[in-house]
Structure 1
């Protein structure tokens, strides 16, 4: 679906579905102790086991959180680089040609990392401590 877009556009568009899923997961886990609706959603999504054993899963949550931070840092760098005036960023300019060749690779790994994070969140949701 993104094949017709430039690499910098792909890296900006692709986080949207991931952010929706992660945001819902994070919001429910934060509000589950104080909000009845969040408790109901947590039950539907089978989150009580995760919340109950949150201390043992802290390292996994922290790893996901750190990867998400890095993903958005890389995305921000790509966007800032692409926003530079054309007089500074030209494929013909030797010092600038190298960073331009790395944008597709950085975009690919950023999107792949988002998929890995989503997979980790899904695996956390599927865990059971019975």
Structure 2
């Protein structure tokens, strides 16, 4: 067995491991997205009233509003133009904080592993043809 064959075998093993890891990561990202949905950015306005604070936003061609808890109101920086995120399938749902980045990180790791698997597969095929 010469060096080209050994490198080809190692590249193929690394490729299969990376491919399996990428499938797992991408499937997990897909399951998280199906469960949590897609959150789109919007501008919201916080209105302070006697009975509490209300947040109002425009989404999917309609105006929406909901009450803010005291904890949520404490985190509002600019009541005139607060950055918020609404759920694409349910525009009545609103977050005043950015959606968690975990899904994005898992998706990026899955894509990197897929690229590694592709590069290892190409290297293995080239070394098999050359050797």
Q: TM-score, normalised by structure 1?
A: 0.41
Q: TM-score, normalised by structure 2?
A: 0.41
Which has the larger share of strand?
2
- Return the index of the structure with the highest Cα Rg: 2
Which has the larger share of helix?
1
